């Protein structure tokens, strides 16, 4: 999902408020980070298949631009997306003409 400008600014502000400056990379100790303008997701692991309709967690991957080490920021906890499940998502609406 592509972030709006408002969501992107909210993500940057969230990271800056939570990380102690300077936040050094655990791998290379650099302080060079890239914040994406997109969200990605992790899906529930199901051996040998993909769980269609299973739980999904949205993340923003913040990456060290020196070594590539990546820290995943939970987009729900950061307030970027709503955590309320959409009960009607994916369900076809049927009209009762009865």
Which tens digit of pLDDT belongs to each residue from 34-92?
A: 999 999 999 888 888 887 888 889 999 999 999 999 999 999 999 999 876 555 444 44
Helices (H) and strands (E) in the chain, counts: 1, 6
Q: Give me the pLDDT at residue 98, please.
A: 47
Q: Could you tell me how many residues make up the chain? A: 98
CB 61 within 8 A of CB 15: no
> Is 44 within a domain?
yes
> Is 90 within a domain?
no
> Is 95 within a domain?
no
> Is 66 within a domain?
yes
> Is 83 within a domain?
no
Q: Give me the pLDDT at residue 71, please.
A: 97
Q: How many domains does the chain have?
A: 1
Measured distance CA(90)–CA(21) in Å, rounded: 43
Domain assignment of residue 34, given as a range? 5-74
């Amino acid at each position: 999902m592509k972030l709006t400008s408002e969501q992107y600014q909210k993500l940057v502000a969230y990271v800056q408020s939570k990380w102690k400056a300077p936040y050094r990379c655990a791998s290379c100790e650099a302080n060079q980070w890239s914040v994406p303008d997109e969200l990605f997701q992790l899906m529930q692991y199901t051996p040998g298949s993909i769980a269609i309709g299973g739980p999904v967690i949205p993340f923003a991957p913040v990456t060290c631009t020196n070594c590539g080490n990546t820290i995943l920021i939970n987009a729900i906890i950061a307030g970027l997306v709503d955590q309320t499940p959409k009960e009607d998502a994916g369900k076809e609406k049927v009209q009762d003409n009865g």
